Chains A and B, each alone.
Chain A
Amino acid sequence: MAAIRVLVVDDNSVVRDALVHIIQRSRGLELVGEAADGVEAVAKATALTPDVIVMDVNMPRLDGLGATRQIAQQGLPSHVLMLTMYPEMAKAAREAGASATILKDCSAAELIDAIRELGKSKSTV
């Protein structure tokens, strides 16, 4: 089975590095790119068409909700997994076009499970 191709988007380099590490060491996941803000995220999503985009919410230039909206409007096939500190963000994330939301205090295993779940549904679309 082909690996799930993942794009990581977070403006905090420490958090981004952490996410990258977790994805790189997980079987069945392939890191295809990183972005530090929403503008970069939209550009990389367009160029790389990842299966799953792990997207932070609060970022400079264009936030995660705005980037998700643009990605959805472009009809890109990628699933956005919104990564947030606030549970109440789930509704706004869904309305922007995110496929799922996960809290930042999740464990690495929960994050990987969420990515795999979205990757699986992608293959059946």
Chain B
Amino acid sequence: MSKIRIMIVDDHPIVREGLAAILRRDDFEIIGEAADGRTAVKRALNLKPDLILMDLRMPEMGGVEAMEKIRAADPNIKFLVLTTYDTDEMIVGALEAGASGYLLKDAPREELFTAIRTVARGEALLQPSVAARLLQRMTSAKGKPATTPPEEELSAREVEVLQLVARGQANKEIAARLNITEATVKTHLAHIFQKLAVNDRTEAVTVALQRGIIRL
């Protein structure tokens, strides 16, 4: 199996250097580093890593904006946020920008390795404390419990599709996984958007999580 090609983005040189050394000792390939969001965008589009380990607070351009720009240009690159901060705004901002994983820098080394492999596979992984904050926010924001039933129930297949969307999979990957065509995936998504009264994938996942239709 080929190594996961990683780019490390963090404004602290000692963290970048140490992370690179630790990851190289395991089965990962470090193909590049960047100290700020602007440089990260440029290098990511040039190097095409499988995954970017992304810090959030950085000079020049923060991690959220960098992820948005990279994702707009290359939706195949996966993001795992590795940060000291766990405010609701930062978590939600990062997930909306395209992060499939969110880890705090106090995560043990093995947890970091597992998160990298999970996100690189196209699945999602949130540190439990981060997931708890996110769910709490979503429940309180709407003023109703997370188990409120949907207005119109999704079919089993639609739930299956949405679950894969929540794991960060693209339509093509979902089609392959479910053995259906990409056009069928798009049709399912259109129905999902209509039933949940949302406009896009992110909103669909957010509402579905809030209502307990899918789980991360």
Chain A residues close to B by CB (< 8 Å): 11-15, 17-22, 25, 104-108, 111
Which chain B residue shows the least CB distance to A104?
B12
For B17, give its contact among A104, A105, A108 (CB under 8 Å): A108
- Count of CB-CB pairs between chains A and B under 8 Å: 60
Main secondary structure of the interface of A (DSSP, over half): helix
Decide if A18 touches B18 in the complex (CB within 8 Å). Answer: yes
Tell me which of B17, B19, B22 has the highest count of chain A C-beta atoms within 10 A of its own C-beta: B17
B157 at the interface (CB under 8 A from A): no
CA distance A108 to B106 in the complex (A): 20
Question: Inside 8 A of A21's CB, which chain B residues have their CB?
Answer: 17-18, 21-22
Which chain B residue shows the least CB distance to A60?
B106
B87 at the interface (CB under 8 A from A): no
CA distance A106 to B12 in the complex (A): 7
Which chain A residue shows the least CB distance to B21?
A21
Decide if B106 touches A13 in the complex (CB within 8 Å). Answer: yes
Question: Inside 8 A of B19's CB, which chain A residues have their CB?
Answer: 14, 17-18
B128 at the interface (CB under 8 A from A): no
Decide if B11 touches A22 in the complex (CB within 8 Å). Answer: no
B47 at the interface (CB under 8 A from A): no
Given contacts A12-B84, A14-B105, A14-B109, 20 further A-B contacts (CB under 8 A): A12-B104, A12-B105, A13-B106, A13-B108, A13-B109, A14-B18, A14-B106, A15-B14, A17-B18, A17-B19, A18-B15, A18-B19, A20-B18, A21-B18, A25-B21, A104-B14, A106-B14, A107-B13, A107-B14, A108-B13
CA distance A21 to B18 in the complex (A): 6
Decide if A14 touches B15 in the complex (CB within 8 Å). Answer: yes
